[in-house]
Amino acid sequence: MTSQVLNLQTTGFDVTSLEENITFTIPHYPDTTKPENASFVCSFYDPALKSFSNEGCIRVPSQSNDQSTTCSCNHMTSFAILMAVTDVSISRRNAFALDVISYIGCGLSIIALIFSLIVLGVTRLKTIRVRILTNQCVAMLLAQSLFISLVENASSNKVACKVVAALLHFFFLAVISWMFVQGVYIYSKTSLLHKGIIPLKYFIIVGWGVPCVIVGATAAININFYGMEGICWLNRKNGGIWIFVVPALIIALMNCVVMILTVKVLRSVKVFQNKTDKEKIKSTLKAMIVILPILGVTWLTGVLVNISVIFSYVFAISNAFQGVLIFIMQIFINAEIRSALRLRKSRILPFNTSLVGDNSARSNHSSRGKDVTKSTINTTQTGVGLHSISGSGPSMVGEPLPAAQ
């Protein structure tokens, strides 16, 4: 204890409704000597814990010195801090709401991502698309688990906080890197100009190798880029936050272009052009919703969290629940995954009734088997079909794409 305990008492209003942080300066004891590499921490006595806690209070370095410490109680710890390049002043109600959204969203996403990995493991699919999706789920699972468990809890220990901040930087960089890989893969499958198959090893280098290099270089240049008062994340005061914000925005913009090009290819399909305007809009929206979670285009809203608290809500909701959306769009309604699960079920239960139905269906259509096989081969050779990307039918929105001219 380096100062007297300050006791604040209010009457007539609820402090949880304050629109600004409670900021106050406490003078140190005259004989206080700060040990080397030590720092002052703002704490308050929590009757429930019967001990001092620094949760919700941060030290303001610009207004603190060896004679006094300025504390600001009520800070933002929501998912939006990942893209906040400046200190954002928000009301306690908004701070609490954003915290609840972030923790609920990340919690549900973690559960959804675990289920996604279990399903992908059960299917035993070895396609490049599935392996990319698996790596993306692993990166997101580790990033969000670390975020909700240690982004605040490790802040009391300076060294541990820097380690946690570096790990968070690595895993969230991996998340956006695998989003970039998804964008490259989707573009390669929809573009008629690219007919080859990109080896998985190059995707792994981008997805895991690039984040490792960036984090290593960041720590070597200035370890103080990691960790700040009360939060174990990239430091906003010395510009460390830009090491994450800039790559995230660039990749989100690139994937936004990929999404537009993918939808453009879809709209050029002859079957699509024969639809009514209402059906066209419906199919376009469905295609965008299916690929939106894996491309991470919603990360673009992160640049706006510094402008208004409204965008903090948009960013927290759209990205904290990203794991849930991936499970729904890429696992639950995906035709490739569902077919693989049915196949696994038929092998485990050889007398499954669905197997009988499949045999009957094959017998009824045997007369046109050659035509179907030929059509399938032609479609595969084009490298344009979107059935392996996502969706619930033979293509991204349940419509086959034409063969390349």
Q: Which residue has the higher pLDDT, 75 or 252?
A: 252
Closest CA to 313 of 56, 17, 75, 79: 79
**How confident is the model at residue 78, as a pLDDT?**
59
Q: Is residue 88 a contact partner of residue 72, using CB atoms and an 8 Å limit?
A: no
Q: Which residues contact 348 (CB under 8 A, 6 or more apart)?
A: none
User: What confidence tens digit (pLDDT) does each residue in 261-317 have?
Assistant: 877 877 777 667 777 777 777 777 777 777 777 787 778 777 777 777 888 888 888
369 pLDDT exceeds 90? no
**How confident is the model at residue 405, as a pLDDT?**
37
Tokens matching residue 246? 């800039």
Q: Is residue 101 a contact partner of residue 313, using CB atoms and an 8 Å limit?
A: yes
Q: Which residue has the higher pLDDT, 65 or 366?
A: 65
Tokens matching residue 68? 């006094």
Closest CA to 128 of 188, 46, 41: 188
Top mean-pLDDT range of 222-231, 261-270, 320-329, 368-377: 320-329
User: What confidence tens digit (pLDDT) does each residue in 370-381 have?
Assistant: 443 443 333 333
Biggest CA–CA distance in the chain, Å, is 96
Q: What percent of the chain has pLDDT over 90?
A: 20
192 pLDDT exceeds 70? no
User: What confidence tens digit (pLDDT) does each residue in 160-173 have?
Assistant: 889 999 999 999 99
Burial zone of 17 (CB within 10 Å; 0-12 exposed, 13-18 middle, 19+ buried) = exposed
Tokens matching residue 103? 């923790």
Task: Read off the pLDDT band of 13 (50, 70, 90).
Answer: very low
82-337: CATH topology: Rhopdopsin 7-helix transmembrane proteins (1.20.1070)
**How confident is the model at residue 363, as a pLDDT?**
46
Task: Read off the pLDDT band of 177 (50, 70, 90).
Answer: very high
**How confident is the model at residue 19, as a pLDDT?**
45
Q: Where in the chain is the domain with CATH 1.20.1070.10?
A: 82-337
Which stretches of 152-241 are DSSP H helices?
158-190, 200-204, 210-221
* Mean pLDDT confidence for 351-379: 43
Q: Is residue 335 a contact partner of residue 394, using CB atoms and an 8 Å limit?
A: yes
Alpha carbons 241 and 84: distance in angstroms, whole number: 8
Q: Is residue 294 a contact partner of residue 133, using CB atoms and an 8 Å limit?
A: yes
User: What confidence tens digit (pLDDT) does each residue in 147-162 have?
Assistant: 888 877 777 788 888 9
Average pLDDT of the residues of the chain: 74
Give the DSSP letter of residue 251.
H
If residue 95 lies in a helix (H) or strand (E), which one and from where to where?
helix 92-123
**How confident is the model at residue 139, as a pLDDT?**
95
Q: In terms of residues, how long is the chain?
A: 405
CA angle, residues 314, 298, 227, in degrees to nearest 5 = 80
Q: Is residue 110 a contact partner of residue 324, using CB atoms and an 8 Å limit?
A: no
pTM of the model: 0.67
Alpha carbons 83 and 245: distance in angstroms, whole number: 6
